[in-house]
């Protein structure tokens, strides 16, 4: 096992890009993806164990919370977490810290990928994709230096009790949004949406793309569709698409990425 392990969930690439930048800087690192059940959960041999994930509806994305309970970390390992969001951290860090106590935590904003809610540049502070990416890379360097030096956070993980209430209803909202997904006539049945969906919610039946009831609203199908043919009802028809410029569908589908 590598000296450093980073567990990463990423819907549309921002968090995986952050994880890769930090891993490159640390060296000797495995990124273990958490879009599906992680390929490795016992990481007791690693000296540093980190978690990089976005805020979804005020909390942890997808099934990450469930997976966290199975992860085994050496009690003496240095632990860290980086949270990405469009505007606010939410309760994900607190929840993670309850399950796996953290030595270091940080949060940074990036483009908003929740396309049915906001255009992607509606992040805090508001900025376009190029500027946001440069800012994210700058922060990755700072976080990697802190992690290399095993820096411990002085501030406690935010309690975010309001977000706990917000997040309680999130799975239902995500599923309801998923019910409005449709592919229009521009669809060329290329298969990208089915490949990038972390829950296996998309299948092909004859000439139709069929969306099931397991949507977690990550928006990857809408954001990665090369024809921009997938929409949440009418809300997203005129909205510009965004996914992290450095991260491909193939990158997102790796189980472990080694540096």
- The contact set with ligand FMN (CB under 6 A) reads 10-15, 54-58, 84-88, 90, 110-114, 217-219, 244
Number of residues that this document lists for the chain: 259
- Name which of 99 and 129 has its Cβ closer to ligand FMN: 129
- Name which of 88 and 259 has its Cβ closer to ligand FMN: 88
- Name which of 142 and 152 has its Cβ closer to ligand FMN: 142
- Name which of 47 and 116 has its Cβ closer to ligand FMN: 116
To the nearest whole angstrom, how small is the minimum distance from the Cβ of residue 89 to ligand FMN?
8
The CA-based angle 100-106-108, given to 5 degrees, is: 130
Give the contacts of 124 (CB within 8 A, at least 6 positions apart): 86, 87, 88, 109
148: left (phi over 0), alpha (psi -120 to 50) or beta: alpha
- Chain centroid, CA 186 distance in Å: 28
- Name which of 38 and 54 has its Cβ closer to ligand FMN: 54
Question: Which value, in Å, is the radius of gyration of the alpha carbons in the chain?
Answer: 18
To the nearest whole angstrom, how small is the minimum distance from the Cβ of residue 199 to ligand FMN?
13
Where do runs of H (alpha helix) occur along 6-128?
Answer: 14-26, 64-68, 92-99
Query: Omega of the bond prior to 125 within 30 degrees of 0, cis?
Result: yes
To the nearest whole angstrom, how small is the minimum distance from the Cβ of residue 149 to ligand FMN?
26
Distance CA 115, CA 2 (A): 36
């Amino acid at each position: 096992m590598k000296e450093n392990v980073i567990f990463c969930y990423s819907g549309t690439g921002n968090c995986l890009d952050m994880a890769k930048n930090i891993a490159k800087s640390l060296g000797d690192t495995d990124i273990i993806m958490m879009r599906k059940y992680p390929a490795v959960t016992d990481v007791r041999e690693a000296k540093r164990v980190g978690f990089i994930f976005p805020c979804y509806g005020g909390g942890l994305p997808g099934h990450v919370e469930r997976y966290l309970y199975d992860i085994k970390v050496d009690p003496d390992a240095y632990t860290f977490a980086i949270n990405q969001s469009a505007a606010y951290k939410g309760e994900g860090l607190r929840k993670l810290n309850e399950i796996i106590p953290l030595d270091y935590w940080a949060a940074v904003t990036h483009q908003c990928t929740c396309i049915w809610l906001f255009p992607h540049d509606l992040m805090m502070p508001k900025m376009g994709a190029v500027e946001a990416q440069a800012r994210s890379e700058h922060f990755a360097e700072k976080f990697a230096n802190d992690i290399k030096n095993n820096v411990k956070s002085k501030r406690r993980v935010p309690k975010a009790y309001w977000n706990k209430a917000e997040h309680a209803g999130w799975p239902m909202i995500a599923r309801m949004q998923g019910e409005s997904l449709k592919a229009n006539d521009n669809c060329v049945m290329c298969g990208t949406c089915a490949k990038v969906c972390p829950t296996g919610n998309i299948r092909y039946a004859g000439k139709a793309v069929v969306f099931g009831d397991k949507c977690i609203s990550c928006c990857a199908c809408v954001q990665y569709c090369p024809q921009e043919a997938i929409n949440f009802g009418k809300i997203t028809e005129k909205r510009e698409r965004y996914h992290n410029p450095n991260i491909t569908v193939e990158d997102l589908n790796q189980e472990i990425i080694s540096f």
